[in-house]
């Protein structure tokens, strides 16, 4: 599996022709890495809650849990209600 930096370099090189300055390619790499950082960010539950039924990762200082948000509780995929004291979440796509 490629690292984020390797994928960013590959993306930067693929977006521009060889006659383009290294500065522009570097900007593309930086933009790619910023997009990755945005996609991997943890969202504080004080700032925003997931959409109803959205598949997410939830975390607190002790664990990370996979499940979905259901009317102010977090449920596992077998519908079990889990602890409510998660501090952060981030969306996931299950494919």
CA distances from 38 to 8, 27, 33, 34, 73 (A): 14, 16, 9, 6, 25
* 3-state class (DSSP) for residue 20: coil
pLDDT per position in the chain (95 positions), as tens? Answer: 777 788 887 877 777 666 666 667 778 888 888 888 887 889 998 999 888 888 888 888 888 877 777 765 566 555 565 655 788 998 886 54
Domain boundaries, the chain: 4-39, 43-91
pLDDT in tens, 57-80: 888 888 887 777 776 556 655 556
* Neighbouring-strand partners of residue 57: 66, 90
């Amino acid at each position: 599996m490629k690292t984020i930096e390797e994928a960013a370099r590959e993306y930067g090189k693929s977006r521009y022709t060889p006659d383009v300055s290294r500065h522009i390619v570097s900007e593309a790499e930086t933009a790619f890495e910023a997009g990755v950082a945005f996609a991997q960010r943890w969202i504080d539950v004080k700032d925003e809650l997931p959409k109803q039924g959205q598949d997410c990762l939830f975390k607190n200082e002790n664990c990370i849990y996979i499940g979905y948000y259901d009317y102010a509780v977090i449920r596992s995929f077998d519908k079990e209600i889990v602890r409510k004291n998660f501090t952060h979440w981030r969306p996931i796509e299950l494919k």
